[in-house]
Structure 1
């Protein structure tokens, strides 16, 4: 039978559909009602392929006449559509359905006929991952026997790989640091929430860079912490302006996100001295600290002050969010408290991504990827800066990471550029979304890692024209 979809390939066959053979309603009406309800509440979604009428009849132990009649009714109402040679599918937006529940995002709807050029910040160069090495790592990770119990700290092999990575690529001074000081995490935001819940008193104040990483803000607030702003300038966190009475400060000293500055040595020393004098923690987010192109990166703060610094890192910017893993490097009292918290709530980091990272690093593939990544992004950054400078557009941010900032005069100009960019097929990022309070900085945060180099080259003149406000 053509298009006879097997059970494993259709989400419909995973649903519990109860048909009452002794009920007042015909079986075809009951089935149509059940499928309509499933589509309304999101159990079936736009684009989901449905089984053939014969396969569904066999699954429900009813006559094919019943399933055919139900499909005909739903097709007439616009809930499903048949595609010649492909099968039957749930429609994206059935007539009369709530548009906010089923409609795709505005950008996708407006430009469905063409791909969007991704110039968003915080996205990795995933296309640069060596696919053969990637497949090899996944195959090797899959050879491990399934686990019987969770490992709250993470795999020892993963934690050892993290220490080696920090030593080779982030200037970690080993000293007393070992794998025992490392916890695997689900990423920076997850780690920050765990840290707040395990170590900080509920209601404590934590200073966060403003503008800064808003997912960190969300994680802290969800953990019952009060977030207070800490101003930044072109060199990163302004240490003298960190408010008093806090329990911790969250910062990105290697490459401030999103403004792009690198915290200079004198501020690092002042930051550590304040933390020790006033009794608070420094939470160091090193989200793309490996990506410097001009000089060797400054050593991580954790090497300078292991007593007051908690170091957080992630694979999502140097590799891909697919792995879903990161790390926390901290003193024993911190890692012990976080592990106890994980035991209390029965949670811990998933092991699959850890195993893949271990295998990817084992034969040098991680190091080779980072060298290739730095080379590629350095060339892309030069292309961005040179092209925009030639167009008379100002660019700032250190020679690091995967984004630069293009200042704009005010919030209205920023909104206009974002809207007009969407009309041109560009997915752009503005500074407004990186503020927790009133907007203080206005401009574009231009990412250059997610798109191809050809797309970047063709998009930059459009970006320059939008920033200049010229037609």
Structure 2
């Protein structure tokens, strides 16, 4: 039994010195957090102070803290204080000590179904998140962003804090036009750019604007994100499936009466393929001849690892293609910053829809992001992230017995499995082991559910913070080793 006092915090821990003291210390801290004795945000003693108070080696304290940070009970980075993490509401006062995800999987990987209790989810147990569509949030450039905010606050005119133009801050619109022209070949100027609160907001705005121009049917890739279909339906549009194969979306599948099509040509989500050149040309020809709009969702166009990214379709038909981008994959989805390059005929309907929905990003965020773009800090951050994600994809490719699906790009890859039933079994087994995975069937990518559709796991390898990547990789490859076709 020992108490620590080095930080002014009386920390009572039931720890017996001797063999296994490190495990006992981790268990005592875990129990203190779980029981509520240590509230979220509580600052813990430094490892040197804790070790001195308990009469143990500092390395033992470091190991205990590191273990609990990896499990999600504590938070901390080098040079910063260690604090109690925010945990889900409703945790029971006691629960079994968490097993590692790797241990939880061994019964499945090495000998059939494990004992029923070994697969029971541990309430509140932190998970390894491998869902697609998320960057490594720990890599957010906090220092650069804080500096950009300070400069924006210091230099912005008083008029910047008034009710703004629904198209967005002029400075950011100009910066986005210059950035997308330089990096993606987009043909746009500040007047054609509309700033949105992320891509979901952009799609809701576009759906409303298209409906206002008389469009009633739109096509969306199949498989594709169910959330995007929901947003289009909420705008009063009927969504028709657009078949995707190894060459991307098929223009021959574009039904009559469709007034717009939502595409991910540079890196199809979720299959990861690139729209073939002849199909790009065919979509553009159909858009001109049938007077329909193409919505180009360039959600991760900056992240191509084997070559330069494919340029934007919008450059070939800026009067028929709406180009959409966001900071969600490069910075963080919580930024809620996106942009549209809008054809002239759609500009007024889009601005009217923005005003009606009333969800414009805050002026200070727009000005700070413009600062990042203008100074090149956004480019520098993307280069760093691109290198890290390329290495992770290479790690994953080296560990799996079969090639990854799609081109080397983006923040996710497709891992085919034998059947929808096997996909559901794998995602369920992974969930019990603390690994969050999406599949084509389990995450609702197919327009019409059917076990006849191909099955695959959609693995977001960018999401785990660096200190958990190896553990995530070990757990995933142990899960998949005997099951990938």
Does TM-score exceed 0.5, indicating one fold? yes
Instruction: Tell me which of 442, 463, 468 is aligned to 2:455.
Output: 442
Matched, 1:247 2:245: no
Structure 1 stretches of at least 4 aligned residues deviating more than 6 Å after TM superposition: none
Aligned with 1:122: secondary structure?
A: coil
Matched, 1:148 2:162: yes
Q: RMSD of the TM alignment (CA)?
A: 2.6
Residue 268 of structure 1 is matched in structure 2 by: 280
Residue 56 of structure 1 is matched in structure 2 by: none
Matched, 1:194 2:192: no
Residue 136 of structure 2 is matched in structure 1 by: 125
Give the Cα separation in 1 of the matches to 2:133 and 2:203: 18
Instruction: Tell me which of 468, 475, 478 is aligned to 1:455.
Output: 468
Give the Cα separation in 1 of the matches to 2:89 and 2:260: 49
Give the Cα separation in 1 of the matches to 2:322 and 2:165: 21
2:265–2:274 contact (8 Å) kept in structure 1: yes
2:91–2:123 contact (8 Å) kept in structure 1: no
Instruction: Tell me which of 86, 89, 92 is aligned to 2:90.
Output: 92
Give the Cα separation in 2 of the matches to 1:238 and 1:227: 16
Deviation at 1:292, TM superposition (A): 0.7
Which sits farther off after the overlay, 199-208 or 415-424? 199-208
Aligned with 1:355: secondary structure?
A: helix
Which sits farther off after the overlay, 251-260 or 449-458? 449-458
Aligned with 1:167: secondary structure?
A: helix
Instruction: Tell me which of 126, 132, 147 is aligned to 1:136.
Output: 147
Identify if the C-alpha distance between structure 1 residues 301 and 462 changes in structure 2 by more than 3 Å, giving closer, same or farther.
same
1:393–1:468 contact (8 Å) kept in structure 2: no
2:137–2:332 contact (8 Å) kept in structure 1: yes
Identify if the C-alpha distance between structure 1 residues 200 and 119 changes in structure 2 by more than 3 Å, giving closer, same or farther.
same
Which sits farther off after the overlay, 308-317 or 126-135? 126-135
Q: How does 1:322-471 map to 2 (within 5 A)?
A: 322-344=334-356, 348-388=360-400, 392-432=401-441, 433=443, 434-439=445-450, 440-469=453-482
Give the Cα separation in 1 of the matches to 2:89 and 2:336: 32
Q: For the pair shown, which has the larger CA radius of gyration, 1 or 2?
A: 1
Q: How does 1:275-314 map to 2 (within 5 A)?
A: 275-314=287-326
Instruction: Tell me which of 151, 165, 169 is aligned to 2:179.
Output: 165
Deviation at 1:112, TM superposition (A): 4.7
Aligned with 1:377: secondary structure?
A: helix
Return the TM-score normalized by structure 2. Answer: 0.70
Aligned with 1:200: secondary structure?
A: helix
Residue 68 of structure 2 is matched in structure 1 by: none
Which sits farther off after the overlay, 378-387 or 130-139? 130-139
Which sits farther off after the overlay, 412-421 or 186-195? 186-195
Aligned with 1:221: secondary structure?
A: helix
1:291–1:401 contact (8 Å) kept in structure 2: yes
User: Which consecutive unaligned segments of at least 5 residues does structure 1 have?
Assistant: 1-46, 50-85, 96-108
Q: Please give the per-residue CA displacement for 1:12-50, whole angstroms capped at 9, x wherever unaligned.
A: xxxxxxxxxxxxxxxxxxxxxxxxxxxxxxxxxxx899x
Aligned with 1:110: secondary structure?
A: coil
Q: Please give the per-residue CA displacement for 1:265-293, whole angstroms capped at 9, x wherever unaligned.
A: 11110110111122211010000011111
Return the TM-score normalized by structure 1. Answer: 0.72
Q: Please give the per-residue CA displacement for 1:63-90, whole angstroms capped at 9, x wherever unaligned.
A: xxxxxxxxxxxxxxxxxxxxxxx9xxx9
Q: Please give the per-residue CA displacement for 1:382-439, whole angstroms capped at 9, x wherever unaligned.
A: 1111111xxx244211111011110011111111111111122211111122223224
Q: How does 1:204-243 map to 2 (within 5 A)?
A: 204-243=216-255
Q: Please give the per-residue CA displacement for 1:304-343, whole angstroms capped at 9, x wherever unaligned.
A: 1112101111111111122211001022221122113334
Deviation at 1:466, TM superposition (A): 2.4
Aligned with 1:295: secondary structure?
A: coil
Instruction: Tell me which of 181, 195, 218 is aligned to 2:192.
Output: 181
Aligned residues: 367
User: Which consecutive unaligned segments of at least 5 residues does structure 2 have?
Assistant: 1-38, 42-83, 94-119
Identify if the C-alpha distance between structure 1 residues 248 and 113 changes in structure 2 by more than 3 Å, giving closer, same or farther.
closer
Deviation at 1:137, TM superposition (A): 1.5
Aligned with 2:438: secondary structure?
A: coil
